[in-house]
Amino acid sequence: MMTVEELFTKLSVGELSNLSMSNEGSGQIQEKSQAKLISYTNDALMQLYSRFVLLEKFVVIEMIQGITSYYLMKRFAQSNCALVSQDPCYIKDLLEPFEEDVIKILEVQDHLGRRVTLNDQSDALSMFTPRPNMLQVPRPVEGLALSISYQARHRKLEPGVMEAPIYLPEVLEEALLAFVAGKVYSHMNGEENSAKGQEYKGKYEEQCQLVVDRDLVNNTPDTTSEIFKRNGWI
């Protein structure tokens, strides 16, 4: 893990050291350029968290008779229902408020902890994920719970919060730096800058492929049954 301040230092003395925004490699990023770099960093984190399962979270929903499409959105969360009372509150998140940070659904388990088949038209009991943040349940059973494991995104960084943590495996830090640098140079005028941008984009891809080839990111899932125990379902 590193902070935004540490990221800026690395960019300043490294990839962006010859640019004025880095104060000529002083280890600091000029204040007027920080918001832009934060935006690029959020883009990079979204790409990396989508490409690799770096954060897996769980959420419990309680099925409601007649509702077959369950959207993983805050408006349907129990912790938010007081604000939007006309929506059904099928997301049970009073212990751990749902953050609406879904990239895609990975797995579903029923109230007994059994894995549910997903997206199999030949299976009469299959459930479906027609959208990244939506679970389709053809035969909902009133009151029974489902535990959904999903690939989550990194929390967005905000400009000016230099101590904000960036949660990323060390083996992907070079990819992050390359992605941000590629964005910076690609948005600058001149053929040389454009070529530099492409060079860093290529480095980003190389670093990501290296992680895949060497299997350096551990994506072992946790046991979903634990969330049922914590919420009193079993």
- Residue 84, number of CB atoms within 10 A of its CB: 12
Residue 43 in tokens: 């883009």
- Residue 170, number of CB atoms within 10 A of its CB: 9
Predicted structure pTM score: 0.88
Across the chain, mean pLDDT equals 91
Nearest CA to 184 out of 174, 194, 173 is that of 194
Give residue 13's Cα distance to chain centre. 28
Cα separation of 169 and 160, whole Å? 23
pLDDT > 80? residue 189: yes
Residue 201 in tokens: 């984009």
What distances in angstroms separate CA 159 from CA 31, 38, 63, one per listed residue?
10, 6, 40
pLDDT > 70? residue 226: no
- List alpha helices for the chain, DSSP H: 4-13, 31-51, 173-186, 191-213, 225-231
Q: List, for residues 118-138, the tens digit of each pLDDT value.
A: 999 999 999 999 999 999 999
Nearest CA to 135 out of 59, 80, 232 is that of 59
Nearest CA to 98 out of 128, 70, 121, 66 is that of 70
The pLDDT-based confidence of 218 (bands split at 50, 70, 90) is low
